[in-house]
Structure 1
């Protein structure tokens, strides 16, 4: 019998709790009803990251402390979490749909013999049942997925899908756990964790984004876009067709089947504006779009529009920011 707990895995990178954790806490509190929101944090004994998490007001933070967690492999985290879940029997477990979340969550799912819905865009409860909404069929429809026969119910959610909200004077219970069995992954050794040169570890967390579409794929535009990105401290993202380009991958994709972004500034180059893309940019603060087609739907989502060639726009922009 599962308990009335919704777990949120606290993801961290180079000692910093990632924003998706706070976003998931806020959403879990919104849909919890009479259920408890519990954050699961794995950290070395000299860390106190739970103090940052308290600001978002979960009911409880379970802190697993062990010096070996400083460089723990994802499989080791999954084993510890499976042992903890077997003891407390949570109703649901939520992860960020990040590189880390996509690695730990399926490992944990296999150990617990339950279901996992990846890349969700919404979550809700119908009684004890977690309704998990995600895009399907080439992102053309939204489907609702449930796991009625197994617990815990598991889901991963794309960063920036939900808004994180701090709680004034939260009363949070912190429970420290030290008696779990650390199952060492003998074939894996973490040599070093190095932060990326960009201020954000992924496009999902970037404050400034330059997005490229089919109409901005030639070498000249790419070179100019990279130069502008360096000057602005921006990340470069792409629409789905450009994930096949040698310079990009699925990690760079923006939209329903990629990343949901919320930058302060977004510059769209050569992007027509299909719904698969615009779904991922709804939280951008300032949107500038460039397209040769004056009827391109992307202009309906833009604060400033430039009808013309992307290369010409970039050359002019670069002169301004010299």
Structure 2
């Protein structure tokens, strides 16, 4: 399917040694591919594994790596938000091979109607790359889309009052067909998993609709969700900073508002 979105060639590394989500075997395959095929630019979509692979590939190829990109121009320069997303700067590379890590949701996929040529990538692993072994992999239970892929996100903050009240966010997200996210303060307190954290030290999202429940709107959280198309905030504090950049603000008790909102959404859907 990558060909339909503009890829001319799709390289497939079909080897069971690449099955585990370990970075070094992937670095080996990519490094050989870049050297043999003469590629000068390698771009990654932001994830924990991609960050490890990109860093390892940068060291292996002595290549420059720029992070947090949101756009790339034909002249070889890229856009990257800096200073807590208060400015957008142009970044470039001085190395022969250029590596870039794009923020999740920074670019929209556009179909081109093309098809790609499928080629097999040689898998030759270094001895040191096979020394690590994945002993166990735990997956957090999840229903519905991930926050990176969701068109609708319902996020909860300290204003929910207690961990059990995240059920309100989950019910609203389920009714809207979306995913649940959380602020750093909430995940640090153990109320919700770190995988759901949105913000400067969490994930960056850009859904069509972002509903913030009991979130003050500190800059650290804002930088992770300000790319949302529509932001709706529900907070009992009329002076909460989030109302300064929300498209729709509701001042009131979310514990009363959200259940009624869930009922309305379910009734509308029939």
| TM-score, normalised via structure 1 length | 0.67
User: Aligned residue for 1:35?
Assistant: none
Contact kept? 2:58, 2:99, Cα under 8 Å: yes
Query: Corresponding residue for 1:137?
Result: 83
CA distance in 2, matches of 1:278, 1:191: 33
Q: Secondary structure at the match of 2:225?
A: coil
**Corresponding position: 1:61 with 2:10:** yes
Contact 2:205 2:224 (8 Å CA) reproduced: no
Question: Is 1:157 the counterpart of 2:102 in the alignment?
Answer: yes
Aligned residues: 262
Cα distance in 1, alignment partners of residues 87 and 227 from structure 2:
18
Aligned partner of 1:100 in structure 2 is 49
The match for 1:78 is: 27
Q: Does 1:146 align with 2:146?
A: no
1:278–1:298: 8 Å Cα contact kept in structure 2?
no
Unaligned runs of 5+ in 2: none
Contact 1:240 1:254 (8 Å CA) reproduced: yes
How far does residue 253 in structure 1 lie from its aligned partner after superposition? 3.2
From 248, 252, 259, the equivalent of 2:196 is: 252
Give, in angstroms, the shift of residue 281 of structure 1: 4.4
Cα deviation per residue 1:247-281 (whole Å; 9 max; x = unaligned)? 34664333565434343543221234566627734
Q: 1:299 to 1:313 in 2, by over 3 A?
A: farther
TM-score normalised per structure 2: 0.78
Q: Please tell me the root mean square deviation across aligned C-alpha atoms, in Å.
A: 3.3
Structure 2 CA distance, aligned partners of 1:190 and 1:244? 27
In structure 1, stretches of 5+ residues that fail to align are 1-51
State the alpha-carbon separation in 1 of the partners of residues 158 and 136 from structure 2: 39
Task: Provide the residue aligned with 1:308 in structure 2.
Answer: 252
Equivalent runs, 1:131-210 vs 2, <5 Å: 131-148=77-94, 150-168=95-113, 170-178=114-122, 180-183=123-126, 185-189=130-134, 196-200=141-145, 202-210=146-154
Distance in 1 (alpha carbons) for counterparts of 2:37 and 2:142: 40
Q: Which residue of 2 aligns with 1:6?
A: none
Q: List per-residue Cα deviations over 1:210-231 (Å, max 9, x = no partner).
A: 1124544544643432444455
Greater strand share, structure number:
1
Alignment correspondent of 2:182: 238
